[in-house]
Structure formats: C-alpha cells, structure tokens
Amino acid sequence: MSADKLLTLVAMVWLAGLSASAQEPSTATESAGFSGYADAPAFSVVPRKDELEFYPCKQCHEFMQPDATVRELRSPHEITLEHGADRFWCLACHHLENRNALRSAMGEAVDFEDAYLVCGGCHANRQKDWYYGAHGKRVANWRGQRQIYNCTHCHNAHKPGIEPRAPKPSPGVRAGLERADRDPHKKEKLWERHPSQEQSAASDEQ
C-alpha cells in the first residue's frame, strides 16, 4: 500500500471514530461549576454504575424522543418519587438529551459515578460534611487516598430517607452466666419513681 493510501485509510478510521463518539455523547462530568473543596483530602468513590439495572439508558432512549412533560410514567419506570415533596421531577437530576448522564443544578452533564455532585446542588452542607469525612463512610485506604461511598450507596435517590431497621440482638453472655434483665422499657419510669411536687400534691388530694 502506498503511503498516501495508508494516510487516507488512517484518516477514514479516525473520522469514523469521531462520528461514533459524536453519536455517543460522553457521560464524563463537565465541570464548569462546583468541583470540590481544594483542601479536602483526596478520595475516590466506590463505583456503582455496574449495579444499575437500566444502565446504559440509551439502550432504549436512543430510539425515543426526550419528553420533558411532567407526568406519571408507565413501564418500565413506575417510580413514585418520595423526594422533594413534589417540588421537582426526574429532570431535576437526569439529563434530558444525554440520558446516560445525570444533571447538575447548572444543567451540566454529570456521570452516574459522580452523583454526589448532583445531591450537593441542593444539600450543600451535607455534601461538605461528606467531602471532609463527617458524613458517609470510608471503606478503604486508611493511609493515602481514601475510598468512600457515594451518597447513592446509602440513600435511594428516589426515596432518600433511611428506612428504620430492627436492632441486632445483643451479644451472648459467657457460659454459666445468666443475662441480667436490663430491659429499660419494662422498668418503672423515672417520673413514676420521682413524681414532681404537683403530681404528688394531686395524688394526695384524691
């Protein structure tokens, strides 16, 4: 093959690559807005994208017209939003055109792995605590760069309140010993043991 034919071929492959990437807009986070606190210790987030049932969203949405009309969705998204007390809808967090991406308060595309940037748009105080380690959980790398859980690891974005759960049973006692009966709920209440003066005066009158 002559040199200029090879060049043309290289150029064609390169152009094909370009148009493929144009059809598949990157989901990488565009960060024109907030990009973290400079003095917060470095971290990486435990990835979650692989756990999403519907990702990549373009499997279906590539063939659909984006529809911003606020409405109750049919299959496959029978999601009841229990977040924001009806003040916002899906598109507060999901990008309308680039469906494989989330969306920041400024309308920038945010990768699903960077969901904490979306949450922080409305929960900046909580997010700041998280950046500095006072909210959330560090899971690896006690020295060096921390690895931490994303907000979505613990909070369901569509229903973010943490569900109450039953407490774990207390640890067993050593062989030969009996568990002391220390259930605080069975005991006489403090105010029953020490009635206030008004209460004792009232019971004197009876």
Q: Name the residues that contact ligand HEC, by CB under 6 A.
A: 48, 52-55, 57, 59-61, 66-67, 73-74, 76-77, 79, 81, 83-85, 87-90, 92-94, 99, 102, 112, 115-116, 118-119, 121-123, 126-127, 130, 135-137, 149, 151-155, 157-158, 160-162
Nearer to ligand HEC by Cβ, of 77 and 194: the residue is 77
For residue 111, give the nearest of 179, 57, 59, 162 by alpha carbon.
Answer: 57
Nearer to ligand HEC by Cβ, of 53 and 204: the residue is 53
Nearest approach in angstroms of CB 36 to ligand HEC is 11
Nearer to ligand HEC by Cβ, of 16 and 129: the residue is 129
Nearest approach in angstroms of CB 29 to ligand HEC is 13
In angstroms, rounded to a whole number, what is the distance separating the alpha carbons of residues 131 and 114?
13
Nearer to ligand HEC by Cβ, of 10 and 132: the residue is 132
Nearer to ligand HEC by Cβ, of 161 and 171: the residue is 161
Nearest approach in angstroms of CB 187 to ligand HEC is 27
Please say whether the dihedral angle defined by the alpha carbons of residues 68, 69, 74 and 78, taken in this order, is positive or negative.
positive
For residue 99, CA distances in Å to 25, 93, 94, 154 come to: 10, 11, 7, 23
Nearest approach in angstroms of CB 197 to ligand HEC is 37
Nearest approach in angstroms of CB 141 to ligand HEC is 16
Question: Are the C-beta atoms of residues 27 and 112 closer than 8 Å to each other?
Answer: yes
Question: Are the C-beta atoms of residues 109 and 98 closer than 8 Å to each other?
Answer: yes
Residue where the block lists tokens 């760069």: 145
Question: Are the C-beta atoms of residues 43 and 130 closer than 8 Å to each other?
Answer: no
Question: Are the C-beta atoms of residues 116 and 36 closer than 8 Å to each other?
Answer: no
Please say whether the dihedral angle defined by the alpha carbons of residues 127, 129, 133 and 137, taken in this order, is positive or negative.
negative
Nearest approach in angstroms of CB 16 to ligand HEC is 26
